[in-house]
Structure 1
Amino acid sequence: MPTTPRARARAQTMNDIVRIGREHLATGGAAALSLRAVARDLGVVSSAVYRYVSSRDELLTLLVVDGYNALGDEVDAALTEAPDDPIEQLRIVARTIRHWAHTEPARYGLLFGTPVPGYQAPADQTVAPGTRVITTLQTLFARAHQARLLEPPSPEPRVSPPLASSFARIRTEFGLELPDWLLARGITFWTSLFGAISADVFDMYGTDTFTDRNELFELQLDGLLDMLGYRPMP
């Protein structure tokens, strides 16, 4: 926490800039973000804002990090009330992401929608917050595997040496014991999960195609868990 009045004032101004940026993101989209407009709503001249945020791209980065952390916090909070069952926790994570996406469609779109033209997110600032939810999913895959809740394919697929090297690097980075087949299926799980959520949030289905999208999502989630290797007890 900032300890001096000047530091506290700076932190408050940064919070206000991010808050106003979120509001503009919701009303005009990422491509329309403008530091001048932020300064106007903040009640200062535009030159004053540049002392805190140097460019539109830096503002976008602040919003990206803010969005990833907001989603991560939402998932973490949901898991604190979850039963000690990695499969049920995977369901809760998936539902929480979908709920957050519907509640915050502009922020979800910034993170997982169409890239903003001309903007490249700096990896040194965005990778750690951006992988929070992915790390949670990978951890739950590993727990489900250790609990023998996931059935491996027979025969297990062969993985080429280059891809096996990539998988080994991921195992080391996350500190998890995941076989190659489960890493491959886990990647398919989370990419398919976000694809299903995006199709729903961005209305790719069409307005009147499905009567109950909640039921559809639960069926999709069942299918993803089946693909992962989960076989519920009869």
Structure 2
Amino acid sequence: MSVIRGARERARIEVTAAIKEEARRQLAAEGAARLSLRAVARELGMVSSALYRYFPSRDDLLTALIIDAYDAIGAAAEDALARAVEQDAAPADRWAAICRAAGEWAVAHPHEYALIYGSPVPGYTAPLDTIGPASRAALALFSVVRDAHRDGLLTQPPGNPLAAPVRADAARLAAELAPDLPVRTVAALVAAWAQLFGLISFEVFGQFNRVVEARREFLDLAAAGLARQVGLGATASASTDTPEEIPADASAADGVLPAK
């Protein structure tokens, strides 16, 4: 019986993977709003009733794809952090490694990224099951700051005093996620997290076209700024950076105005 049960479990895993793979293909071709269980079943040569035994509704399939996407980008962030820790990198460089890994995953998987960070799918409400996976990349960033604070390497974030409503939100998050961190640092962390994924979304959704060509280098620059914003100091690349002069023969056609 155990042999039969094992074969059935393997078959279920294989069919589930095939369903998800076809659903991702449909996401790329049609978008999440047009994802159809019947279409997935048809492409796989299954009857709809058979597919419903794996995913009872379109929303169940969407949830599975969303969790997979969050877990994938979260794993990329966590793996990058683990490598940086193994190399004994400075806190700001650990932060930058996470930012770079998240950006690279998003560029390599634009349709899955759009599913979790793009426009909401009409008629779909994400269940609580998605919260844990959705938190993984952000918690990797939090862990860098918490370790820096523990080791005495965290400075006070720059800026004006927090408005009372912002302080209340940050205090609630600090109590839930990082009670050891100053409230002001938590507020800066949330802002940096949102800015990071705004930058990544600009690249994935084409907002940097004809604006930023050196995408990876620009993200590294932005990540270094976000590191300073939360009190981590400069990354190794930023600390060795030197100002560059605009070439003397640069012209207005290159997007640089001539000196007056």
TM-score of the two chains, using structure 2 as the length reference? 0.80
Q: Match of 1:126?
A: 130
Equivalences for residues 80-229 of structure 1 within 5 A: 80-82=82-84, 83-84=87-88, 85-122=90-127, 124-153=128-157, 157-158=161-162, 160=164, 164=167, 166-205=169-208, 207-229=209-231
8 Å CA contact 1:139–1:176 kept in 2: the answer is no
| Cα distance in structure 2, aligned partners of 1:74 and 1:154 | 29
| Cα distance in structure 2, aligned partners of 1:168 and 1:113 | 28
| Cα distance in structure 2, aligned partners of 1:153 and 1:35 | 49
| Cα distance in structure 1, aligned partners of 2:65 and 2:122 | 16
- The alpha carbon displacement at 1:188 in A equals 0.7
Pick closer, same or farther for the CA change 1:43–1:116 going to 2, 3 Å.
same
| Cα distance in structure 2, aligned partners of 1:68 and 1:155 | 32
CA RMSD of aligned residues (A): 2.3
8 Å CA contact 1:87–1:144 kept in 2: the answer is no
**Unaligned 5+ residue runs, structure 1?**
none
Which one is further off, 8-17 or 124-133?
8-17
Q: Match of 2:254?
A: none
What is the number of residues matched between the two proteins? 230
| Cα distance in structure 1, aligned partners of 2:110 and 2:159 | 41
> Aligned with 1:10: secondary structure?
helix
- The alpha carbon displacement at 1:60 in A equals 0.7
TM-score of the two chains, using structure 1 as the length reference? 0.88
Pick closer, same or farther for the CA change 1:25–1:105 going to 2, 3 Å.
same
| Cα distance in structure 2, aligned partners of 1:167 and 1:106 | 32
Q: Deviations over 1:88-137 (max 9, x none)?
A: 11100000000001000000010111111111111x21001110111111
8 Å CA contact 2:146–2:178 kept in 1: the answer is no
Which one is further off, 138-147 or 58-67?
138-147
Runs of 4+ in 1 over 6 A off after TM superposition: none
Higher alpha-carbon Rg: 2
> Aligned with 1:225: secondary structure?
helix
Q: Match of 1:230?
A: 232
| Cα distance in structure 1, aligned partners of 2:159 and 2:121 | 43
> Aligned with 1:4: secondary structure?
helix
- The alpha carbon displacement at 1:193 in A equals 0.2
8 Å CA contact 1:156–1:181 kept in 2: the answer is no
**Unaligned 5+ residue runs, structure 2?**
241-260
Which one is further off, 46-55 or 8-17?
8-17
8 Å CA contact 1:22–1:107 kept in 2: the answer is yes
- The alpha carbon displacement at 1:26 in A equals 1.9
Q: Match of 1:22?
A: 24
> Aligned with 1:81: secondary structure?
helix
- The alpha carbon displacement at 1:164 in A equals 4.8
8 Å CA contact 1:167–1:180 kept in 2: the answer is yes
| Cα distance in structure 2, aligned partners of 1:208 and 1:167 | 37
| Cα distance in structure 2, aligned partners of 1:155 and 1:128 | 31
- The alpha carbon displacement at 1:166 in A equals 4.1
